[in-house]
């Protein structure tokens, strides 16, 4: 067994229950924060958007202009059927276009539309009152200090799911 792996195994064996409970509490707090923040954000969403729909629009702005429904389903860790449902609702609102892939007879390509980009931007702007109150309580300096660590945790978890 390579030395690095053996050392990692020995270190894991030395972890005590208190450490593991603290790690559990850490993720439990993140889950509760995610639920509470999603509920607050849902109440602010304009144009009949929900968190799932906003998440897809936000993905297009952050990650890529175009994707297949399968790629989006994998990115959001939902079934293809669930993603197809969300995409259908976004298409009905004119927020995404769904077209046949010219290189494949069966595959579809989804793109955010200018109207979808505007809806995403309006949804972000609608959260500003919540964010103002949040910053009043915690301050931007504290948020900026914590953001890199949260990004590292997200990147780790994103990689670990593969």
Task: Summarize pLDDT for 59-68 with one digit per residue, the tens.
Answer: 999 999 999 9
What integer is the mean pLDDT of 141-146?
Answer: 96
**Percent of the chain scored above 70 by pLDDT?**
91
The pLDDT score that the predictor gives to residue 12 is 60
Q: Which residues pair with 100 in a beta bridge?
A: 108
Degrees to nearest 5, angle at CA 45 with 65 and 145: 75
- Domain limits at 79? 43-126
- Place 9 in a pLDDT band, splitting at 50, 70 and 90: low
Radius of gyration of the chain (CA): 20
Do 103 and 47 lie in a common domain? yes
Q: 102 phi and psi, to 5 degrees?
A: -65, -20
Q: Residue 88: what pLDDT?
A: 97
Average pLDDT over every residue of 129-152:
95
Q: Do residue 143 and residue 113 come from a single domain?
A: no
Q: Give pLDDT, residue 6.
A: 54
Distance of CA 95 to the CA centre of its chain: 18
pLDDT at residue number 120: 96
The C-alpha atoms of residue 54 and residue 95 are separated, in whole angstroms, by 10
Residue 23 belongs to a domain: no
Per-residue pLDDT tens digits for 121-136:
999 999 999 999 999 9
Tell me: pLDDT of 35 over 80: yes
CA-CA distance, 56 to 124, in Å (whole number)? 13
55 and 106 in a single domain? The answer is yes
In a domain, 32, yes or no: no
Closest CA to 41 of 117, 113, 115, 125: 125
Does 142 have pLDDT greater than 60?
Answer: yes
**Same-domain status, 93 and 110:** yes
What per-residue confidence (pLDDT) applies to 102?
87
Query: What's the gap between Cα 60 and its chain centre?
Result: 11
Mean pLDDT of the chain: 90
* Of the candidate ranges 46-55, 67-76, 79-88, the one whose mean pLDDT is the lowest: 46-55
Place of tokens 């259908």: 88
What pLDDT sits at residue 104? 81
CATH number reported for the structural domain that contains residue 116 in this entry: 1.10.10.10
**Both 115 and 65 in a single domain?**
yes
């Amino acid at each position: 067994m390579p030395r690095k792996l053996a050392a990692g195994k020995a270190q894991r064996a030395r972890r005590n229950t208190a450490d593991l409970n603290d790690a559990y509490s850490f993720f439990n707090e993140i889950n509760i924060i995610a639920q509470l923040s999603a509920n607050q954000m849902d109440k602010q969403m304009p144009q009949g958007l929900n968190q799932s729909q906003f998440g897809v629009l936000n993905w297009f702005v952050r990650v890529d202009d175009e994707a297949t429904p399968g790629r989006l389903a994998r990115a959001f860790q939902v079934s293809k059927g669930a993603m197809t449902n969300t995409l259908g609702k976004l298409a009905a609102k004119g927020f995404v276009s769904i077209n046949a892939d010219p290189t494949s007879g069966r595959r579809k390509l989804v793109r955010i539309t200018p109207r979808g980009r505007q809806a995403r931007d309006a949804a972000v702007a609608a959260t500003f009152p919540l964010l103002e109150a949040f910053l009043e309580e915690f301050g931007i300096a504290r948020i900026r200090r914590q953001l890199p660590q949260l990004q590292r945790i997200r990147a780790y978890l994103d990689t670990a799911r593969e």
